[in-house]
Amino acid sequence: MSLLEDLGLEQEPAPTHPVLELRGAARTFPGPPEVQALKPTDLRIERGDYVSIVGPSGSGKSTLLHLLGLLDRPTAGEYLVDGIPTVAASENERAVLRGESIGFVFQAFHLLDRRTVLDNVLLATLYSGVPRHERRERALAALDRVGLSHRVDFHPGVLSGGERQRVAVARAVVADPRVLLADEPTGNLDTVSSAAVLELFDELHGEGLTLVVITHDMSVADRAQRRVRITDGTLVEL
């Protein structure tokens, strides 16, 4: 039995529900003046999708990321993860769902410099329902998948930017999430490292992983199958 089942969170009965779905979801921040950072939005991320969400600074990208990643709640509408309604769920239920369903890759890597590469990936297994006896094997396999099996005992501070982002990708996929959310994943990388990370995303997508990449860079957005533009809190499919 999964942690979700332990908590009594059940999926809707339809077998074809999207991985992520916003239904009229909006996010307003109180004022004065009141700010509607995300206008009422419908968005479906299907299994196996590779979706980019592109927009300039201040367009609502961060607000959307926080909603999709269960880091915030919409003030109107509904948000479902793998068919599970989340708006009324408790913080504990949302944390479990986030750990089991969503992998994150951030622009700033968010690695622990005093821990080894292997430790950084192992930490992600503690909150995602991976059985204890599988954790080390899964972490080593994830690092091998991103081409870093020779770096497992290194600390992040001695790695290149591209290598650190690949550690972050390994950490994000080690628990076999339903979707990978990447926030400006190439923002701190040079051209060569950026290309390597985007090629890795292409490979992961080719293996069936659902990806959502949030970016301001059209060259990154164009790698995706679907492109969505966000402007002043409004989403438009391109």
The model's pTM:
0.88
Give the confidence band of 130 by pLDDT, cuts at 50, 70, 90. Answer: confident
Query: Residue 228 belongs to a domain with what CATH number?
Result: 3.40.50.300
Work out the average pLDDT over 42-67.
95
216: helix, coil or strand?
A: coil
Q: For the chain, how many structural domains are there in total?
A: 1
Tens of pLDDT, residues 149-202: 999 999 999 999 999 999 999 999 998 999 999 999 999 999 999 999 999 999
Please state, in angstroms and rounded to a whole number, the distance separating the CA atoms of residues 118 and 143. Answer: 8
Please state, in angstroms and rounded to a whole number, the distance separating the CA atoms of residues 78 and 192. Answer: 40
The pLDDT of residue 121 is 96
Location of structure tokens 């479990």: 96
Give the confidence band of 23 by pLDDT, cuts at 50, 70, 90. Answer: very high
Question: At residue 4, does pLDDT exceed 50?
Answer: no
Strand order in the sheet with 234-237: 102-106, 179-183, 210-215, 50-54, 226-231, 234-237
Sequence-separated (6 or more) residues with CB below 8 Å from residue 73: 67, 79, 86, 87
The pLDDT of residue 16 is 77
β-pair partners for 22: 43, 79
DSSP of 57-80: TTSSHHHHHHHHTTSS--SEEEEE
* Domain extent at residue 179: 3-237
CA distances from 115 to 21, 187, 209 (A): 36, 24, 28
Strands (E), the chain: 20-29, 35-45, 50-54, 76-81, 84-85, 102-106, 179-183, 210-215, 226-231, 234-237
